[in-house]
Amino acid sequence: MNAVLLEGRSLTAALEDQRRRLADLRPLAAAQDLAYGTLRQYGRLDVTLRALLDKPLDPPGLAGHLLVGLHELEQGEAPDYAVVNETVRGAARLHAPARGLANAVLRNFQRRRAELQAQAARDPRAIWNFPAWWVARLRRQYPTQWQDWLRAANGHPPMTLRINPRKVSLADYLEQLRTAGLEATQTGDQALTLVRPVPVQRLPGFDAGLVSVQDLGAQYAAPLLDCTDGMRVLDACAAPGGKTGHLLELHDLDLTALDSEARRLDRVRQNLDRLGRNARLVRGDAGDPAAWWDGRPFQRILLDAPCTASGVVRRHPDGKWLKREEDIQQLASEQARLLDALWPLLAPGGTLLYATCSVFVEENRAQVAAFLQRHDDAREQAIALPGAASGQLPLTESHDAFFYALLVKT
Ligand SMILES: C[S@@+](CC[C@H](N)C(=O)[O-])C[C@H]1O[C@@H](n2cnc3c(N)ncnc32)[C@H](O)[C@@H]1O
């Protein structure tokens, strides 16, 4: 918690560090659940904690222990006395004199719970469990949908699988799931959504590449690009390779998978190896093609651009608290740089699919409108996606939010 809240690190990176450090990984699964749960509810927990304190915490790292303790008391899965004991012990390990304070905070919460909850119910941060700027922006940009989106964003994400048609049919895999005691329903051409999420190791044939885990919204990308066998394709921001794998399951392509991060490209290699597919992996900046492009145009380009990831915060609740409003404009400038740099690499008649997993207009509709203003050899081809307006797929119980725009070179 403190790595995220005080050091600004991502929860995934912080958990990865712990995984490397710990000899016994068993306690980590429980700690991971608590961290995700606490960050999902951080708006309300933080408002509650502040109401219980009369001065700032010293050292500030105590907040992590107290927030997790409050979350556990609210959740009610462990007995209250055990939560209080454990939290007090954790706080004392960090700072011995904090024992009394931790005890008082949790005991006060138990006593004043109803009053504190009523108080929190008047604060937008606590009501929505999102930063106030995020709520205000979403409300402005989506006046009729913002509440549904925020509600969905606070729920638990579905676990959707993508069947690899090179290895198994959807009907056969559904049967394999049933045999393994796992219930699922078909939600897309290659998509099965599990009734209850499970660790990937429990998925039949996962290591053999029968199936990948990929949100339903992300599964729209590869078919939208409408490739045919033999095409020369660039996946410009490819890692960890979810969409690369999907493109190569659908067609035999001459595909270049580019990413600026070598370690993330390793993940692309591992994913493609598992699926039994192949691509040319290149490390480079999509905004500087002179450094890696051989001069031969691509017929299709997928630009799954770096973005605020505001559409996938249900899976990464730390993102709600790590992102700052200023990041939106910075990322929008970077996206424009990548779009402009890649456009000359597209063959006439070719298509570029611009994608983000964001909901903010600056990264999506406004970005595309500005691009079309700058490039008179570009036109947008309309796309039809279930529930989407102008390429913006909403955040629902069934999938995360994504934005897609198909840009054709005239
Ligand atoms: C949204 S993720 C891509 C997800 C991927 N397409 C998938 O479906 O699994 C964005 C990726 O862009 C990469 N990236 C960021 N800036 C880049 C740049 N200037 N050039 C190339 N890759 C970049 C990041 O390392 C990250 O892996």
Shared-domain flag, residues 198 and 331: no
Shared-domain flag, residues 226 and 374: yes
Which residue puts its alpha carbon closest to atom 6 of ligand 1?
A: 238
Decide if 146 is inside a domain.
no
Q: Using a 6 Å CB cutoff, which residues line ligand 1?
A: 237-243, 258-261, 264, 285-287, 304, 306, 338
Measure 256 CA to ligand 1 centroid, in angstroms: 13
Decide if 74 is inside a domain.
yes
Boundary residue ending a domain (80, 107, 129): 129
Cα(190)–Cα(176) distance, rounded to whole angstroms?
Answer: 15
Shared-domain flag, residues 75 and 117: yes
Decide if 138 is inside a domain.
no
Residue 311: which CATH number?
3.40.50.150
Shared-domain flag, residues 275 and 365: yes
Measure 378 CA to ligand 1 centroid, in angstroms: 23
Percent of residues, the chain, with pLDDT higher than 90: 88
Shared-domain flag, residues 198 and 261: no
Range of the domain at 39: 2-129
Shared-domain flag, residues 238 and 193: no
- Could you read off the pLDDT of 319-377 as tens digits, one per residue? 999 999 999 999 999 999 999 999 999 999 999 999 999 999 999 999 999 999 999 99
Q: Is 98 exposed, middle or buried (0-12, 13-18, 19+ CB in 10 A)?
A: buried
Shared-domain flag, residues 230 and 342: yes
Peptide bond into 197 cis (omega under 30): no
Percent of residues, the chain, with pLDDT higher than 70: 100
Q: Is the pLDDT of residue 232 over 90?
A: yes
Measure 151 CA to ligand 1 centroid, in angstroms: 28
Decide if 135 is inside a domain.
no
Decide if 31 is inside a domain.
yes
Catalytic pick from 227, 237, 307, 357?
357
- Could you read off the pLDDT of 10-62 as tens digits, one per residue? 998 888 888 888 877 777 888 888 999 999 999 999 999 999 999 999 899 99
What pLDDT is recorded for position 410? 94
Shared-domain flag, residues 205 and 227: no
Decide if 46 is inside a domain.
yes
Query: Could you give the number of structural domains in the chain?
Result: 3
Mean pLDDT, residues 183-207: 97
Q: Are residues 344 and 297 in contact, defined by beta-carbon separation less than 8 angstroms? A: no
Shared-domain flag, residues 37 and 177: no
Mean pLDDT, residues 106-124: 94
Decide if 176 is inside a domain.
yes
Q: Which of 237, 274, 313 to mutate to test the pocket of ligand 1 (most atoms within 8 A of CB)?
A: 237
What pLDDT is recorded for position 20? 85
Cα separation of the two ends of the chain: 50
Decide if 343 is inside a domain.
yes
Residue 92: which CATH number?
1.10.940.10
Q: Is the pLDDT of residue 186 over 90?
A: yes
Which residue puts its alpha carbon closest to atom 19 of ligand 1?
A: 285
Q: State which ligand 1 atom lies nearest to the alpha carbon of 334.
A: 19
Q: Is the pLDDT of residue 167 over 80?
A: yes
> What phi and psi values does residue 365 have, to the nearest 5 degrees?
-60, -45
Measure 241 CA to ligand 1 centroid, in angstroms: 9
Q: State which ligand 1 atom lies nearest to the alpha carbon of 239.
A: 27
Measure 259 CA to ligand 1 centroid, in angstroms: 6
Which residue puts its alpha carbon closest to atom 12 of ligand 1?
A: 237
Q: State which ligand 1 atom lies nearest to the alpha carbon of 307.
A: 1
Shared-domain flag, residues 256 and 316: yes
Shared-domain flag, residues 10 and 100: yes
Instruction: Characterise 108 by phi-psi region: left (phi > 0), alpha (psi -120 to 50), beta (else).
Output: alpha
Is 307 a residue of the active site? no
**HSE, side-chain direction, 13 A CA sphere, residue 121:** 6
Measure 302 CA to ligand 1 centroid, in angstroms: 11
Q: State which ligand 1 atom lies nearest to the alpha carbon of 357.
A: 1
Boundary residue ending a domain (168, 198, 213): 213
Shared-domain flag, residues 225 and 202: no
